[in-house]
Amino acid sequence: MKVLVTVKRVIDYNVQIRVKSDQSGVETDNVKMSMNPPDENAVEEALRIKESGKADEIIILSIGEEKSQETIRTALAMGADRGIYVKASNDTEPLGVAKIIEKIVDKEKPQLILMGKQAIDDDSNQTGQMVSAKLNWTQATFASKIEIDGDNIKVTREIDEGLETIKMPLPIVATCDLRLNEPRYASLPNIMKAKKKPIESLSAEELGIDIAPRLKQLKVIEPPKRSKGIMVADVAELVQKLKNEAKVI
């Protein structure tokens, strides 16, 4: 079985986000970037599936600017076999990304696609669902456990009522939750080996698809700053302020 895993280069989750002075977006110059956290879970799950003997090859796909290849190298250092890089704008919309993935699937013929449940930069949570629709494949979103049994796959997913377990035949698209596993760190020997693993470079034009944006971002504004708290002398004063000023009681 061949597994395709998609990864995205995003601002590191530990970085304090700053909005550009012209409000056209968030500041990315000289900012630490890393692999989207749920995508790390998808890579880790693919590696575990291969280590269990149920997958033969893991392909990493990333779409974006040239430095997205660094994110692919990170996944290769974790243990993936090879990478595919598609040059495109960093703000390619989910529909454009889904179109690219559809073309790569036609070319590579994987039986399982693993993706992060959403990217932490735009929080769209749309790409996996759109890929499933375009390929006409079964989908399982927010996966917290994945088990493969022959030509079938059993996925436990988190829902409002608790946990739901569904069983379906391959091929499928699964989006991975942070609770799925604990991603491994790449060892130094594997980091060195990753430098020799192949990465195929393509572009949206070569794939013959239109990924022009359908949406226009007008403005990005920082959330309002929280007002400073106040100290009260006793419970009576607290009750008075809650009742007369905050009007919550």
Domains in the chain: ranges and CATH? 2-244 (3.40.50.620)
Q: Which amino acid is at 58?
A: I
What 3-state DSSP class applies to 84? Answer: strand
pLDDT of residue 126: 92
pLDDT beneath 70, residues of the chain? 90
Instruction: Give the phi and the psi of residue 3 in degrees, each rounded to 5.
Output: -115, 130
pLDDT of residue 25: 80
Residue 19 corresponds to which tokens in the numbers above?
């909005």
Rounded to 5°, the CA angle 94-100-101 comes to 85
Q: Which amino acid is at 10?
A: V
Gap between the Cα atoms of 67 and 9, Å rounded: 8
State how beta strands 112-116 and 172-176 pair. Answer: parallel
State how beta strands 172-176 and 33-35 pair. Answer: unpaired
Whole-structure pTM value: 0.84
pLDDT of residue 187: 87
Gap between the Cα atoms of 98 and 102, Å rounded: 6
Gap between the Cα atoms of 1 and 148, Å rounded: 11
Gap between the Cα atoms of 80 and 71, Å rounded: 12
Gap between the Cα atoms of 155 and 140, Å rounded: 7
pLDDT of residue 183: 94
Within 10 angstroms of residue 68's Cβ, the number of other Cβ atoms is 23
Distance of CA 26 to the CA centre of its chain: 18
Which segments within the chain are labelled E, that is strand? 2-7, 9-11, 33-35, 57-64, 82-87, 112-116, 138-149, 152-159, 162-169, 172-176, 199-203
Q: Which amino acid is at 195?
A: K
Check residue 226 and report its DSSP letter.
P
pLDDT of residue 14: 87
pLDDT of residue 156: 94
